[in-house]
Every structure is written in C-alpha cells, then in structure tokens.
Amino acid sequence: MTINAMLSVIVPVSDRYDNSGSLAHEYLDALIETGRDFELVYVLDGQRSDLCEELLRLARQDTRLRIIQLAKSFGEAASLSAGLENTSGDVVVTLPAYYQVEASDIEKLITEIDVSDMAIGARWPRVAASGFEVFRRKAFHWLVKSVTSISFSDLGCGARAFKRIVATEVPIYGDLHRFFPLLAHRRGFRVSEVQLRQSDKDRYEKGYGFKTYLRRLLDILTILFLVRFTKKPLRFFGTIGSITFLSGAILLLFIVVERLFFGVALADRPALLLSSLLVVLGIQIFALGLLGELIIFTHARELKEYSIDRIVN
C-alpha cells in the first residue's frame, strides 16, 4: 500500500523543540531518500518566532515543507489535530520536534505500514540520562501494562506512522495523544513496534515536576476506563460502589451487634458516622454506574468499537 501512497508528515511543535532548523533539514533529506511523494507539515503551537524564521527560509527552498501556526498555545494534541485536518496523505507520519531518533530510520516506520495499521518507534539501543530515568520509564510502562494488559516499550517516542483511517476512527484530545497506540489497539487496529536508533542528541536535562507525574497518572486512569469500561461503566463503578457499600455495611453491622448484645452505646461513636457515610457513598457510586449503563444503552447504535479490515464479496 505504501509504495504509491502519499505521505503526510506532521511535526507538532510545543514546549520542547529544536529551534535551529537543522532537524527539519534532516527530516526533509530522509523523506526525499524514501522516493515517495510527501508533505512535511510543521504545526507551531503558538508563537515560535525563532524556529518559524528558519522554517520560512527552508520552505522557500522546498515547497513540500508547509507551516501551520496556531493563534496561541493549545497543546500538542491540538497541534496534531490541526495537522491531520490540513493534510490529505493516505499514510500519516508524526515526528518529534526535537532530536529523538535518527531521521534516516523513518523509512522503517513507513515500510511497516505494509503489514500493520500503525507502527510506533521504540528507541533501541536506549541510552538514559540517569538511573532514575531508567526506573521512571520502566515503572511507567509496567503501570500501563498492568491497567490495560497491552505491552509497549517506548510510548514516549514521538515517531509514529499510521494509516489515515486510524486517525479518523480514534479521537485525539487532551494529553491522550501519548496513548494513541493503546486507543488504536483497543479499536482493533494492528499496532506494531519498530526499533529505531536513538539520536545522540536525545537528551532532556530539565526533568519533570510533580504536576507532570500527577497528570500522567490521571491520564493512565483515563486510559484504564477508556480501554476496559467505555461500554461497561457498571463494571467499573459497580465494583467500587460494591466494595464501598460492603465495607460500610459490615462496619455498621458490627456496631449494631455491639449495641444489641454487648450494651455498647451508639452516642459519640465516629465509626457509626463513617459506616453510614460508606453505605450511602457506595449506593451513589453504584447508581452512577447504572446511569452510565442507561446512557450507553440509549446511544449504543451510535457507538462503534471495532474496525473492519476487509470485506470479501
């Protein structure tokens, strides 16, 4: 399929990027080497005047380079959406705006689309800046695998290639673009990893703050719900509600037994208030799951959680 397919290569430029324009040169050279028709689209998330000037100069030399500048900073997911809406290639390639993988390995991603719907890069051999970085990366992927039962080794790699239909079927919003392969896999698309050489300039010295880790944890919880409970909300809320209700009911039963058979007074007992609160909270959480089931049942015909590979005859 990819031999004659038009390539739309999107580079979302957000907080971290190479401002010298040299990476854009490398991307162009690597794409020319593939021998395919392509368009290279840089999407600037807000005012990136230093990089924009370099890109404008390069665009005058090669018209296959296009620049989309957003009015203000909307985030990387919005940049990707803008790039997808303003390109038309049958195969979409997303690349990081900073040095991460060797540009010459882009061909590997594109070739993999012949047998997969989506190919994601995995930096190998991987060189980490510190031991903590290794631990953080392994812990992140272990947590993702634990909650989704899907195993990938480098979700942080921004080099990906996929068929246009994948972007059409799988919505990208918020910060969930980092988990795009997981959502595509859930939809039934074939997702494979391709080992790409890590760039010698792939270094991030600033580190991540507490807010970043908290956001990633919340994103993983969101993915857990989207992957496992999108059309079965009662299983999620029902489990939590049942555990909460039973905990409160057992504690309340214990207090009642103490009052009836051992003469323990109910007054001034915080456990009574806690048990009652758990019972009521459990019922509310369970009811929330039932409400979600009713909504899903009402709109079931509009929700599609599969993709068709092909139809014969």
Residues 181 and 256 in one domain: no
Q: Is the dihedral of CA 158, 215, 219, 297 positive or negative?
A: negative
Sheet holding 91-94, edge to edge: 65-69, 38-44, 7-13, 91-94, 160-163, 118-123, 191-196
Residues 147 and 157: their CA atoms lie apart, in Å, by 20
Catalogue the E-assigned strands of the chain: 7-13, 38-44, 65-69, 91-94, 118-123, 160-163, 191-196
107: Cα within 13 Å, side-chain hemisphere: 13
Evaluate if pTM is beyond 0.85. Answer: no
pLDDT for position 217: 85
Q: How far apart are the first and last CA of the chain?
A: 21
| Angle 298-230-218 from CA coordinates, rounded to 5° | 135
Domain CATH for 77: 3.90.550.10
pLDDT for position 148: 87
Tell me, yes or no, whether 221 lies in a domain.
Answer: no
Residues 52 and 120 in one domain: yes
| Angle 107-43-200 from CA coordinates, rounded to 5° | 50
Residues 164 and 254 in one domain: no
Residues 190 and 237 in one domain: no
Report CA dihedral (14, 16, 18, 20) to the nearest 10 degrees.
80
Residues 90 and 176 in one domain: yes
Report CA dihedral (121, 122, 127, 128) to the nearest 10 degrees.
100
Tell me, yes or no, whether 191 lies in a domain.
Answer: yes
pLDDT for position 4: 59
Of 56, 28, 27, 32, nearest to 44 by C-alpha is: 56
Q: Residue 59 belongs to what domain range? A: 7-127+157-198
Tell me, yes or no, whether 263 lies in a domain.
Answer: yes
Residues 187 and 181: their CA atoms lie apart, in Å, by 10
138 φ/ψ sector (left φ>0, alpha ψ -120 to 50, else beta): alpha
Burial per residue of 142-154, b for 16 or more beta-carbon CB atoms within 10 angstroms, e otherwise: eebeebbeeebbb
Show pLDDT as tens, one digit a residue, over the chain (313 residues).
545 578 999 999 988 898 888 999 999 999 999 999 999 999 999 888 889 999 999 999 999 999 999 988 898 888 999 999 999 999 999 999 999 999 999 999 999 999 999 999 999 988 876 788 889 899 999 999 998 889 999 999 999 999 999 999 888 877 788 899 999 998 899 999 999 999 988 876 566 777 888 888 888 888 888 888 877 888 889 999 999 999 999 999 999 998 888 888 877 788 889 999 999 999 999 999 899 888 877 765 666 665 566 666 5
Residues 190 and 90 in one domain: yes
Domain count, the chain: 2
Tell me, yes or no, whether 146 lies in a domain.
Answer: no
Tell me, yes or no, whether 287 lies in a domain.
Answer: yes
pLDDT for position 305: 61
Residues 191 and 152: their CA atoms lie apart, in Å, by 10
pLDDT for position 2: 47
Residues 194 and 291 in one domain: no
